[in-house]
Amino acid sequence: MLPSTRRLLSIGWLMLLCTAVHAADLSVANYVLQSSRRVSATDFELVYKADVANTGPALRSVIGSLTSTSAATVVVEGTLSFGDVGSGATRTSTDTFTIRQNRTVPFNPSALAWTISGTPATPIAADFVYAPAGGNAPVDVRFTPVPVTNVAIDRYEWDLDGNGSFEITDTVGRNQTRRFTVPGSYAVALRVTDSEGRTDSTTKTIVVGNAPPAVTASAAPSNGQVPLNVSFTVTATDNEGVASFDWDFDGDGTYDRTITGTSGNTTFSYTTPGTYGPRVRVTDRMGASAVVFVPTMEVRAAPTGSPRVTLSVNRASGAAPLQVRLGASVSDPQAKAVLRYEWDVDGDGTYDNTTTLASFDTLFATAGTYYPRVRATMADGRTAEDAERVVVTSTQTLALNTDTLDVQLAQTVEVTTVLSAASRVALVVERREGGVVRTLLPYTDRPAGTYLDTWDGRRDDGQYAADGIYHVVLLYLVNGTPQRLDLSTTTGGSEYNPARTSIPATFEPYNGKPLAVDFTLTRASEVTAFIGSFNVNTRYVTFFTRKPFGRGTHRIVWNGDNAEGQIIKPAPGDSFLFGIFGYTLPSNGVLVRNGVQLSGLASSPPIFDPTGYDSTGTRRNTCSVQFTLSLPAAVELAVQDAASGQVVARVQYPGLGAGVRTIAWDGKVDGGRYAAPGTYRLGLTAIHANGLRSMTSYVLQRIYY
């Protein structure tokens, strides 16, 4: 499939990037007071420095944004810069933060909530996720690349068989699937190469197990007078192939006969009256074995002159509810009449029903393997017993009413499950990477029917789940063994080109006309979007790499700048190319959005003189930055030199309401001096009260004196 692309013929002269957040590895502490002053009878303004500790990988340009959870502590200026922080290092902030504290209430440092972020010191990092986490051969495993980069990934190379050679090369970042048919450990590797020629690779071990053979066995006849000649039938299936069958005919723990080859059927003559529990051990070619004894193998050798009963079923398998007729036929050397038939329908050892007829109708309402039994009693009191095997199956379906959940809007997901038979089931929500975050339904017995359960986006601890992709999984028991209905192993990952607006032939970022592309998703998807060269297979900018988006319309805005904030131009005779791919979520996938979105960014005037005055002649000019917030939030402005890519100023604007908002930049950089003439990239990030940050949006601003 070709990407949805459009050539940009020329550029007259806003881009979206997601900063890698590593909050789990970063913590702010050790507040050191720099100054204080009384501002009212009760309030003091306190200025602090602080330290950041990094327990994760090295990061560049680490920034902390502060909010307060206490009404007595008001954040006046809450942004700290820590610069580059190495792995395992602690670094003191290069600047300060300011709070206003009501001194009638003791200052509580735990009321200070920090959102900390940075970009990887390594500019490219390979990573991938996979599902399922493993299993017994044969197992199909799907791999999804999730690299970290500050530029564009040109090439993805996969070593799926673990032999050290990269056998698959992909330029887009598609899912890859491999069927592992041989048990063992596989070192699956991904190597990525970016547009600057840098590479990184990562390896993860996939463990594929060897399941023991699946075995069924029976004996016929299972009862009668001695000498009783019994034929044993065994059926075994195994991915690696069966190597041997070992028979223990009397159930004493000693195997009496070994058979190699593809068939383990055999016979044995019982000459001594008694009840025997024969067993068969089936071993595959890799040494995995299963030992089987089931009621249909039990042998009752009776004294000479004893009767024999044979149980039959009109349906040995089927979907629940399964109607089955049990039938009994009796042969008696003494030709006595049958007094009664007793029926143990579920094989639990208790005879539930008694008839004088040689048949009995029963209904199996629940899935499972059953061994119904009949006991025939003759007129003189002699008895005979036999058992049969009935396999009852069931079906389960799961569907979601939506694949996008915004918890800040109090949205929910309705989960519909349909059970064809009574079942013991549970319903859980798992991270895509694995691990349960919410149990919607603990194991519960449910009759056949349709059920509706709801997820509100909360974890088991009552807190909202973080942004990301989650899977809703139905768990159910069959013969006491847990089974999973996880649609992520069979659905999702389909590549397509999202619908988008037409691409103009030119755009003019300096005149307030950046390249704007709206794309529409009819279902939640992961999106890859980029700007590349029309004539050469080169990417200049990657807006997203497999970034999850909810259903709806989304906008990409580009100012002709690269990831470092520098203005770029195509080579002479070349032009830009826009491309976009979408990858569907699985049918049980939910994209959780738990933060604020910032959109519609624009600045004015196009050319700004910070030292000039407005039309009244009384106020200095300011750069007006307009945007839309989906929720109340603080906003952080980062001013970046478009020539060098250096961040020259950071300003925080707390307490902004939802809707269209405007902030003003006075044209000053850190340190209080005015910015030099030139082009600057204004990056705006919204910070919600829960600490989650929006994507950073950018707009170009020129300064001229």
| Helical ranges in 237-365 per DSSP H | none
Q: Which two tokens stand for residue 411?
A: 């949205």
Q: How far is it, in rounded angstroms, from Cα 325 to Cα 661?
A: 75
Note if the bond before 132 is cis, omega within 30 degrees: yes
Q: How far is it, in rounded angstroms, from Cα 121 to Cα 25?
A: 14
C-beta of residue 565 within 8 angstroms of C-beta of residue 661: no
Q: Which CATH number applies to 393-488?
A: 2.60.40.4070
> 124-209 adopts what CATH topology?
Immunoglobulin-like (2.60.40)
Q: What is the reported pLDDT for 594?
A: 83
SS3 labels along 98-155: EEEEECCCCCCHHHEEEEEEEEECCCEECCEEEECCCEECCEEEEEEECCEECCCEEE
Q: Which residues of 637-655 are buried (b: 16+ CB within 10 A; e: fewer)?
A: bbbbbbeeeebbbbbbbbe
- Please state, in angstroms and as integers, the Cα–Cα distance from residue 281 to each residue in 212, 220, 259, 286, following that order: 11, 19, 10, 14
Q: Which two tokens stand for residue 284?
A: 């595959």
Structure confidence by residue, pLDDT tens digits, 547-587: 999 999 999 999 888 877 788 888 888 999 999 999 999 99
Longest dimension (CA), the chain: 125
- Of the candidates 17, 92, 33, the residue with the CA atom closest to the CA atom of residue 530: 17
Strand, helix or coil for residue 23 = helix
The ranges of the chain with pLDDT < 70 are 1-24, 122, 150, 691
Q: Which two tokens stand for residue 585?
A: 């979520």
Structure confidence by residue, pLDDT tens digits, 466-478: 889 999 999 999 9
**At a CB cut-off of 8 Å and minimum separation 6, what does 93 contact?**
49, 50, 51, 52, 64, 80, 81, 82
Q: Where are the domains of the chain?
A: 23-120, 124-209, 393-488, 598-703
- Of the candidates 667, 688, 664, the residue with the CA atom closest to the CA atom of residue 676: 667
Tokens 């990030």 sit on residue: 685
Tokens 């009191």 sit on residue: 381
Q: How far is it, in rounded angstroms, from Cα 445 to Cα 419?
A: 11
Helix (H) or strand (E) holding 337: none
Q: Which CATH number applies to 598-703?
A: 2.60.40.4070
**At a CB cut-off of 8 Å and minimum separation 6, what does 225 contact?**
301, 302, 303, 304, 305, 306, 308, 333
From first CA to last CA, the distance across the chain in angstroms is 51
Give the 3-state secondary structure percentages of the chain, helix then strand then coil, rounded to 5: 5, 60, 40
Q: How far is it, in rounded angstroms, from Cα 324 to Cα 552?
A: 52
Q: How far is it, in rounded angstroms, from Cα 269 to Cα 219?
A: 12
Strand, helix or coil for residue 312 = strand
Helix (H) or strand (E) holding 676: none
Q: What is the reported pLDDT for 2?
A: 40
Q: How far is it, in rounded angstroms, from Cα 38 to Cα 48?
A: 15
C-beta of residue 655 within 8 angstroms of C-beta of residue 699: no
Structure confidence by residue, pLDDT tens digits, 26-77: 889 999 999 999 999 999 999 999 999 998 888 878 888 787 878 899 988 8
Q: What is the reported pLDDT for 11?
A: 35
The amino acid present at 268, given as its one-letter code, is: F
> 23-120 adopts what CATH topology?
Immunoglobulin-like (2.60.40)
Write out the E strands in 642-677. Answer: 647-656, 659-665
Instruction: Say whether 393-488 and 124-209 share the same fold.
Output: yes
Say which DSSP state 501 is in.
P
- Please state, in angstroms and as integers, the Cα–Cα distance from residue 134 to each residue in 209, 359, 459, 587, 679, following that order: 8, 47, 25, 21, 52
- Of the candidates 8, 99, 163, the residue with the CA atom closest to the CA atom of residue 576: 8
**pTM of this prediction?**
0.75
